[in-house]
A and B are shown apart, each in its own frame.
Chain A
Amino acid sequence: MTQDAGAFFPRDLAWHPKAYAPEYKTSVLRSPSRALVSLPSTLGDTTGPVFGQNMIGELDNDLILNFARPGELPIGERIILHGHVIDENAKPVPRTLVEIWQANSGGRYRHKKDGYLAPLDPNFGGFGRTLTDDDGRFRFRTIKPGPYPWPNNANDWRPSHIHFSVFGSGFAQRLISQLYFEGDPHIRLCPIVNTIKDPAAIEQLTAKLDMNNTIPMDARAYRLDIVLRGRRSTMFENRPEGN
């Protein structure tokens, strides 16, 4: 497959959360107050790092096993998380790195700065990575993360969520976001979710129960398709760029 190296469509900044979102208090001091400077795509934006299969370990996408002691398993709801990485033109994004991290089934992260009461699970690390296949598909096996409280307003709880990081083929596609699980009543209550203003955009981060890919008597499946920025076609752009 030849990959298009054209310029990216401009980002729809109204679809993304604004930098300054005071309902999420930490953003107040961490948001630029000046407008972003818009640039056309340069070579450093349309190119990006690639990752080889040799970097990926056999269990890297299996969070049920990749931190577990031999013969033991983590506690919690077993799930398959899968989907496609595609671009805004609906073209698959092949061989791109997808990384995920999450809390355990009790809502506790394996991180020295997380002091939540819920205990660590000795058999669960909470992170995994994979490369998409030639059709842009990714697949993880994991434990459904629990909701957890966080200091923002006096009683804020995060919905169950999995953080994800995707590269794409150009550095301007770089994206980190979070996925939620359909039917979770905490989604609409969460100040971080609500930094996104368009309900359709929140829906785009909500993984759907996928009974067809459930493994009977073993694990339920959830599906989320991840969309990265699309590129303009370069088919009619053989002339040198002006400035």
Chain B
Amino acid sequence: MVPFPGNLKESPSQTAGPYVHIGCTPNAVGIGGPYGEDAGARLVNDKTKGDRISITGRVIDGANAPLRDAMIEIWQADADGLFNSPLEKRGAADTNFRGWGRQAADGESGQFRFETVMPGQVPFAADRMQAPHAQFWIVARGINLGLHTRMYFPDEADANAADPVLQRIEPRWRVATLIASGARPNYTFDIRLQGENETVFFDV
């Protein structure tokens, strides 16, 4: 065992900086090197269960400019609402679905794109379900602590209305910042760091 006292503090965060790609997506930015494929580059393969969807979007700053150096990760349940994690105790998730994806924003347009599946519903507490959603984590130069948010689906209005997380959000008009646009199978989710339609970010 490790000789550490308990009650430690979490290591403090520092910005991922402008060169996060070197460590996390070296192939996506043409550096190459020893990694065969960037971790998180693909969520699905041809055996993955569920309806294929795409999520494209941008991370936009307070001057309305897309970030061209952001890195975006998603984590979501499979088509049956199970997470591909050893801590998932409700059942066995689809082994052909990673659940986790990582993409760099495009160096020119700032656009990111995930090819994934429509997530199933996941319980919030014993007797309540969450609406289908994907969790997002955003880092970049100028972001001092990675930002957690969630993307919900515009074609799931009833489930969204009953979602216990969305129900916590005040003022109510801010809920719209978490709902993608588009329709199955192609969704768009822009994340606004600041300003009038600032996306809701979570302390999870």
Contact = CB atoms under 8 A, between A and B. Distances in A.
Contacts of A92: 1-2
A16 B12 contact: yes
Given A17-B144, A19-B143, A84-B2, A37 B169 contact: yes
A211 interface: no
Given A27-B144, A111-B19, A196 B168 contact: no
Nearest to A180: B14
Contact of B34 (A21, A114, A125, A196): A125
A45 B164 contact: no
The main secondary structure of chain B at its interface with chain A is loop
Given A127-B26, A171-B135, A172-B148, A17 B13 contact: yes
B22 interface: yes
B202 A36 contact: yes
A86 B99 CA distance: 24
Contacts of A201: 9, 12
A19 B145 contact: yes
Interface residues of A, number: 97
B103 interface: no
A23 B36 CA distance: 39
B201 interface: yes
A74 interface: no
Interface in B67-106: 67, 69, 73, 75-77, 83-89, 98-100
Contact of B75 (A44, A90, A112, A192): A44
B17 interface: yes
B20 interface: yes
Interface in B150-198: 164-165, 168-169, 193-194, 198
A13 B203 contact: yes
Contact of B22 (A5, A109, A192): A109
A242 B34 CA distance: 48
The main secondary structure of chain A at its interface with chain B is loop
A158 B13 CA distance: 16
The CB with the most chain B CB atoms within 10 A, among A39, A49, A243, is that of A49
B33 to A, nearest CB: 5
A24 B198 contact: no
Contacts of A176: 13-16, 20, 139, 146
Nearest to A228: B10
The CB with the most chain B CB atoms within 10 A, among A5, A30, A37, A112, is that of A30
Nearest to B143: A30
Contact of A28 (B8, B62, B137): B62
B171 to A, nearest CB: 10
Contacts of B77: 43-44
A174 B73 contact: yes
A109 B124 CA distance: 43
B204 A49 contact: no
Interface stretch (B48-56, B109-117, B125-133): B125-133
A86 B2 contact: yes
A48 interface: yes
A67 B34 contact: yes
A126 B22 contact: yes
Complex A-B, nearest 5 residue pairs according to Cβ-Cβ distance, in ascending order? A101-B23, A26-B142, A30-B142, A49-B100, A240-B126
Given A32-B199, A170-B87, 16 more contacts: A10-B203, A16-B145, A30-B61, A31-B144, A31-B193, A37-B201, A49-B84, A49-B85, A57-B34, A88-B7, A127-B23, A169-B86, A176-B13, A196-B12, A200-B9, A240-B125
